[in-house]
Amino acid sequence: MGVSASVFFFLSIICNIHAEITACPPVIPITLDVVAQLGSDILLPCSFTTNQLRQAVKNNSAVIWLKEVEYIVEISMTGQSSFWQSHHIRFQTFQSSAAKGNFSLFLTNLNRNDVGKYYCKLYNGVDCVVGHTVCKLDLDKSLWQNRTFLIGLASGCGGLLLLIIIPFAVYAVSKRRQNQRRNQSTPQPNPYDTSSAKEEYEVYANDIYHWDH
């Protein structure tokens, strides 16, 4: 009696496992990395194949989005969405896209608390997942890297420019000093400047005129 009961129990476990496997085979999640800048609006992509959609035949089949363990929205197979809590304020779904198997979620004004894993699960009935996408959302750190890179580039260019300019400046200053020194030692008359000579001649001519009368 005890033995046959335990054998029955054992068999029923095997049958249950077998039934579960055939009814709802485990799905391997597709993982996507989403990187965005603070304050930006982003799309968390989630699309299912026609094969997966064909498996979601029960009348209560739907797609559910979660952030870690927190429920965000349920999207029906016709694209109707119902949000948990106040998630409708920052999240958006696309009804016409969802009706075609694209259950992507739009998130506005990204902040630090949004970083994390988002799960998009296609349910066939309440307890069987037939499609699963994981979106790993992270902040775009390349902006910071770009900024440091740009600062480095700017200071590098500035330094290079100084290296080019300084020898020229030094050369120009020393050249000018040399010219000044030469002018001081041997002052040369400007051959084009005749104003002083002309004045002298006029004074001389006036004097002659006075002497005549």
Ligand X SMILES: *[C@@H]1O[C@H](CO)[C@@H](O)[C@H](O)[C@H]1NC(C)=O
The residues that touch ligand X, with contacts defined as CB under 6 A, are: 43, 45, 47, 59-60, 94, 97, 102, 104
For ligand X, give the closer residue by CB, 51 or 148: 51
R_g (Cα) of the chain, nearest Å: 43
For ligand X, give the closer residue by CB, 108 or 146: 108
For ligand X, give the closer residue by CB, 60 or 194: 60
Least distance in angstroms from the C-beta of 42 to ligand X: 11
Write the secondary structure of 74-127 as one string of H (helix), E (strand) and C (coil): EEECCCCEEECCCHHHCEEECHHHHCCCECCEEECCCCHHHCEEEEEEEECCCC
Least distance in angstroms from the C-beta of 22 to ligand X: 18
For ligand X, give the closer residue by CB, 42 or 129: 42
Least distance in angstroms from the C-beta of 50 to ligand X: 13
Which tokens belong to 23?
């009814």
The answer to whether 139 touches 33, Cβ cutoff 8 Å, is: no
Least distance in angstroms from the C-beta of 106 to ligand X: 7
Closest of 125, 121, 29 to residue 69, by C-alpha: 121
Least distance in angstroms from the C-beta of 142 to ligand X: 23
Q: How many CB atoms lie within 10 A of CB 93?
A: 23
For ligand X, give the closer residue by CB, 47 or 52: 47
